């Protein structure tokens, strides 16, 4: 497995003050993402918003980026990503956005340049689908959704 990749990042106009994604520790899996909201944005309980990040990326074929919640925000405030993990396709060149939802009981204010989520890169194997009339037998068979008990 190749563990080293170069991903290009492009800061979008008007976001010169927004931090670029950053790893907060040497071996962190994710690059923290900063909110490129105007000044601040209030999320009422139960509401969702699409938060701009102020940048776009180009990664090599065979990679994807996943947008994942920050556990501190989730635990303390109930703020999480609605579509977690958000999928960033290798051919996407638009602004990376973060779909947040407030599952907490209180309004939550997002301020400009606040760290709101993280971006983790993953390898995606090349897969071709082959249509067949019958699949191979296994012990599990079609059992699922808790068929092995609690
Ligand atoms: O959290 C996310 C999820 C997606 N995207 C961008 C990058 C991704 O490549 C594109 C499409 O995402 P997805 O395939 O999940 O959305 P879709 O609803 O299937 O839209 P589309 O028809 O545009 O593929 O939107 C984000 O910026 N943030």
What tens digit of pLDDT does each residue of 65-102 get? 999 999 999 999 999 999 999 999 999 999 999 999 99
pLDDT digits (tens, 9 = 90+) for 25-57: 999 999 999 999 999 999 999 999 999 999 999
Does residue 85 have a cis bond before it (omega within 30 degrees)? yes
Q: Is residue 101 part of a domain?
A: yes
Q: Is the pLDDT of residue 108 over 80?
A: yes
Q: Is residue 40 part of a domain?
A: yes
CA-closest candidate to residue 19, choices 56, 54, 59: 54
Q: Is the pLDDT of residue 1 over 80?
A: no
Q: Is residue 17 part of a domain?
A: no
Q: Is residue 100 part of a domain?
A: yes
- Which runs of consecutive H residues, i.e. helices, occur in the chain? 71-77
The reported pLDDT for the residue numbered 3 is: 82
- In a 3-state reduction of DSSP, which class is residue 80? strand
Q: Is residue 95 part of a domain?
A: yes
| Structural domain boundaries enclosing 71 | 23-123
* pTM greater than 0.90 (yes/no): yes
Q: Are 77 and 126 in contact (CB under 8 A)?
A: no
- The CATH number linked to 110 is 2.70.40.10
- For ligand 1, pick from 86, 99, 121 the residue to mutate: most ligand atoms within 8 Å of CB: 86
Number of domains in the chain: 1
Q: Is residue 139 part of a domain?
A: no
- Please state the rounded mean pLDDT for residues 18-24: 98
Higher pLDDT, 150 or 37: 37
Ligand 1 binding pocket includes 88 (Cβ within 6 Å):
yes
Q: Is residue 144 part of a domain?
A: no
DSSP of 31-87: EEEE---SSEEEE-TT-EEEEE-SEEEE--TTEEEEEE--HHHHHHH-EEETTSSEE
Q: Is residue 59 part of a domain?
A: yes
């Amino acid at each position: 497995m190749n563990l080293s990749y170069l991903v290009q990042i492009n800061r979008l106009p008007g976001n010169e003050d927004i931090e670029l994604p950053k790893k907060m520790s040497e071996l962190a899996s994710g690059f923290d993402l900063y909110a490129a909201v105007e000044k601040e944005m209030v999320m009422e309980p139960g509401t969702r918003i699409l938060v701009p990040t102020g940048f776009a990326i180009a990664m090599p074929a065979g990679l994807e980026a996943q947008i994942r919640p920050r556990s501190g925000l989730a635990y303390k405030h109930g703020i999480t990503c609605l579509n977690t993990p958000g999928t960033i396709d290798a051919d996407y060149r638009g602004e990376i956005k973060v779909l947040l939802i407030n599952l907490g009981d209180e309004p939550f204010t997002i301020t400009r340049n606040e760290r709101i989520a993280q971006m983790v890169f993953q390898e995606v194997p090349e897969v071709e689908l082959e249509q067949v009339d019958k699949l191979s037998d296994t012990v599990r068979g079609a059992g699922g959704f808790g068929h092995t008990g609690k």
